[in-house]
């Protein structure tokens, strides 16, 4: 341990020597005076299970990966694409994509980042031997043979990705995919350094072993306590990076985290305590933020035999949906800027044009009237009541929403039994269709409407309610080859609203507190992807 500490300290000194002397300087573009102390500290919700890009499967590790590694493409503050390791990318037919890598991209040990490194990483992600829980993401990207490789039928070397030379990567897809470049931003597609992975096995991500190619390198970490990153002098864009050091503190308890934030112990936290946002916004308007976040909260309706038979009738599903007063949920339960949802796709999804969905425009009284009529038509009502099993995973917010919704359904003669389960049991119960209605949420894996709409196609593994409409399947299949699929997405949304495939409830916001001296935070990035290399701290006088 002592030896390790000495090593770490030496590394820190070396880093500091390399770091540009920003102290007492001004920002090169905006001219703002910069603080002498350019460190950024934030709260980690939980200990990250892994920071190996091909093994990460949750957000805490994902945020770290964006600082430690750089994929082919990254994002600007507004979420638009920006060259990463790839300088240029092109495709004639949206099916074969060519990425030209920059010459000066280097690993933290000085090795050049080559196309072969990407091939290695992508094959590794798909290889069943790696057992990546995100192998499905490779399949989703439509790379040739991805499914065959993840299912073990084909050798990883048959994956449709190859290095033409050190600086040219060619990706062939099974189907044209106009948004493929967007998908390369994801951590699963970040490169890994083959000699390091091969030499150290699972321990390659230890601070002593890790080699990465992002703006920062891992310096030190203690499980369940903290993680520290320092600038990577080998990073091709190191000159423009202002923050010199990043520290993340693992703090499980949201209230405790907020106390420590208010005591000035760190600069940023999200996942605020339930119900705290309105107070924070009032007390600290320049610190508390609420921005759109690409996730939709909805109720899955079990449309299989195991669910209540009434739920197979679209009229019943529609009536249930109409009765939900979304404004009450967003304005009186959540109170943090969330938007009432009448579509499955999040309203802020790039290029998505929200179709005119009738019931979104009606007043709640009109909806309730129609709901009662529909129920009667379907043969249910106070005389022929329905009893539904509504399940949710343990959380204060989910409980409140479920309680409110069950009250809203009462006038229809619907009684609701609420059951909560902890997460792992919940996944199993919901995945096996042992429910009538289940609380669900889906977050976009990339910023395009298909990341939502694909979920409601018949063969999608996450379609837990087993909604199935051939027309939706066909439209989603057709959409991938279209140059402008947006009208098709709108059409699908209209069908989903007619069938009431799921009951949309609200569209998420990202609520967080941020120290006001931290500038250039990407509040417009709806995927909540932030890159510390772009932010900086201004001086306070």
Partner 1 sequence: MSFYILKRLLVAIPVLLFLIVFTFVLMYAAPGSPFASERGIPPAVLANLQAQYGLDQPFHIQIWRYLVALVTEFDFGPSFIYRDQDVNSLIAQGFPVTLTYGFWSFVVAVLVGGALGILAAVRHNTWLDYLAVGVSIGAQVLPNFVLAPILVLTFTLWLGWLPGGGWQGGQWQFVVLPVIALSTSYMASIARIARASMLEVLTSNYIRTARAKGLPARRVILRHALKPALLPVISYLGPAFVGMITGSVVIDIYFSTGGIGQFFVASALNRDYGVMMGITILLGALTILFNLLVDVLYAWIDPKIRY
- Interface residues with partner 1 (CB under 8 A) are 5, 47, 49-52, 55, 57, 128-137, 139, 147, 150-152, 202-203, 205-206, 222-226, 249-253, 255-256, 259-260, 262-263, 265, 422-425, 427-429, 431, 461-462
Which runs of E-coded beta strand occur in 363-501? 386-393, 414-421, 437-443
- Residues 6+ away with beta carbon under 8 Å from 307: 301, 433, 435, 436, 465
Closest separation in Å from C-beta 152 to partner 1: 4
Find out whether 269 and 60 touch, Cβ atoms under 8 Å: no
Which residue from 35, 40, 37, 39 is spatially nearest to 25, judged by alpha carbons? 35
Task: Give the residue with the Cβ less far from partner 1, 429 or 482.
Answer: 429
- Using H for helix, E for strand and C for coil, what is the string for 311-337? HHCHHHHHHHHHHCCHHHHHHHHHCCC
Q: What phi and psi values does residue 137 have, to the nearest 5 degrees?
A: -70, -35
Give the angle subtended at the CA of 338 by the CAs of 371 and 442, to the nearest 5°.
80
Which residue from 465, 392, 389, 402 is spatially nearest to 432, judged by alpha carbons? 465
Closest separation in Å from C-beta 223 to partner 1: 5
> What are the structure tokens assigned to 192, written together?
């890994």
Which residue from 237, 207, 240 is spatially nearest to 221, judged by alpha carbons? 207
Task: Give the residue with the Cβ less far from partner 1, 117 or 464.
Answer: 464
Task: Give the residue with the Cβ less far from partner 1, 139 or 166.
Answer: 139
Closest separation in Å from C-beta 254 to partner 1: 11
Closest separation in Å from C-beta 49 to partner 1: 5
Helices (H) and strands (E) in the chain, counts: 18, 19
Q: What is the distance between the alpha carbons of residues 182 and 190, in angstroms, rounded to a whole number?
A: 13
Task: Give the residue with the Cβ less far from partner 1, 285 or 431.
Answer: 431
Closest separation in Å from C-beta 137 to partner 1: 8
Length of the chain: 541
Closest separation in Å from C-beta 532 to partner 1: 20
Closest separation in Å from C-beta 300 to partner 1: 12
Helix, strand, coil percent content, the chain, rounded in steps of 5? 35, 20, 40
Closest separation in Å from C-beta 271 to partner 1: 14
Q: How many other C-beta atoms lie within 10 A of the C-beta of residue 324? A: 24
Give the angle subtended at the CA of 79 by the CAs of 74 and 82, to the nearest 5°.
35
Pairing verdict, β 245-250 and 39-44: parallel
DSSP 3-state of 240: helix
- Residues 6+ away with beta carbon under 8 Å from 373: none
Q: What is the distance between the alpha carbons of residues 436 and 399, in angstroms, rounded to a whole number?
A: 16
Q: Where does 216-298 have alpha helices with state H? A: 254-262, 277-283
- Residues 6+ away with beta carbon under 8 Å from 354: 343, 345, 347, 490, 493
Closest separation in Å from C-beta 357 to partner 1: 26
Closest separation in Å from C-beta 257 to partner 1: 9
Closest separation in Å from C-beta 368 to partner 1: 33
Which residue from 258, 216, 229 is spatially nearest to 43, judged by alpha carbons? 258
Closest separation in Å from C-beta 485 to partner 1: 23
Closest separation in Å from C-beta 101 to partner 1: 27
Q: How many other C-beta atoms lie within 10 A of the C-beta of residue 253? A: 10
């Amino acid at each position: 341990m002592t030896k390790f500490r000495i090593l770490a300290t030496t590394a820190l000194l070396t880093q500091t020597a390399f770091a540009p002397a920003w102290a007492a300087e001004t920002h090169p573009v905006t001219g703002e005076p910069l603080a002498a102390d350019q460190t950024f500290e934030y709260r980690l919700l939980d200990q990250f299970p892994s920071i190996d890009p091909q093994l990460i499967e949750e957000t805490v590790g994902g945020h770290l990966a964006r600082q430690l590694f750089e994929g082919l493409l990254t994002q600007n503050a507004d979420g638009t694409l920006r060259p990463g390791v790839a300088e240029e990318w092109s495709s004639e037919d949206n099916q074969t994509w060519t990425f030209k890598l920059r010459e000066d991209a280097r690993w933290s040990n000085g090795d050049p980042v080559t196309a072969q490194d990407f091939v290695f990483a992508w094959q590794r992600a798909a290889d069943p031997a790696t057992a990546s829980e995100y192998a499905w993401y490779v399949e989703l990207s439509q790379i040739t043979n991805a499914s065959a490789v993840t299912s073990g039928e084909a050798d990883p070397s048959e994956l449709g990705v190859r290095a033409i030379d050190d600086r040219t990567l060619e990706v062939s897809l099974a189907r044209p995919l106009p948004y493929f470049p967007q998908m390369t931003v994801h951590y699963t597609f970040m490169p890994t350094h083959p000699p390091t992975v091969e030499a150290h096995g699972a321990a390659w991500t230890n601070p002593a072993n890790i080699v990465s190619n992002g703006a920062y390198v891992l310096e030190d970490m203690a499980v369940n306590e903290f993680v520290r990153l320092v600038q990577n002098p080998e990073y091709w864009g190191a000159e423009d990076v202002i923050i010199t050091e990043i520290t993340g503190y693992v703090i499980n308890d949201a209230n405790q985290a907020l106390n420590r934030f208010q005591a000035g112990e760190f600069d940023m936290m999200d996942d605020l305590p339930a119900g705290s946002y309105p107070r924070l916004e009032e007390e600290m308007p320049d610190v508390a933020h609420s921005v759109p976040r690409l996730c939709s909260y909805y109720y899955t309706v079990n449309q299989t035999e195991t669910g209540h038979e009434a739920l197979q009738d679209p009229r019943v599903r529609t009536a249930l949906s109409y009765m939900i007063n979304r404004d009450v949920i967003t304005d009186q339960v959540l109170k943090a800027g969330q938007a009432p949802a009448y579509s499955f796709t999040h309203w802020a999804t790039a290029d998505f044009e929200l179709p005119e969905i009738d019931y979104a425009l009606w007043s709640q009284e009109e909806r309730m009237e129609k709901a009662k009529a529909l129920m009667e038509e379907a043969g249910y009502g106070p005389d022929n009541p329905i009893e539904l099993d509504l399940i949710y995973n343990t959380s204060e917010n989910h409980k409140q929403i479920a309680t409110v919704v069950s009250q809203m359904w009462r006038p229809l003669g619907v009684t609701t039994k609420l059951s909560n389960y902890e997460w792992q049991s919940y996944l199993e119960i919901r995945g096996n269709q042992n429910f009538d209605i289940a609380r669900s949420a889906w977050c976009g894996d990339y910023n395009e409407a298909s990341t939502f709409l694909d979920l409601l196609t018949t063969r999608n593994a996450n379609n837990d309610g087993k909604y199935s409409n051939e027309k939706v399947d066909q439209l989603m299949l057709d959409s991938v080859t279209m140059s402008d699929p947006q009208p098709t997405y709108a059409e699908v949304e209209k069908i989903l609203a007619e069938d009431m495939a799921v009951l949309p409830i609200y569209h998420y916001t990202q609520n967080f507190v941020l120290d006001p001296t931290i500038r250039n935070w990407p509040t417009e990035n709806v995927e909540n992807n932030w890159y510390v290399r772009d932010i900086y701290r201004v001086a306070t006088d």
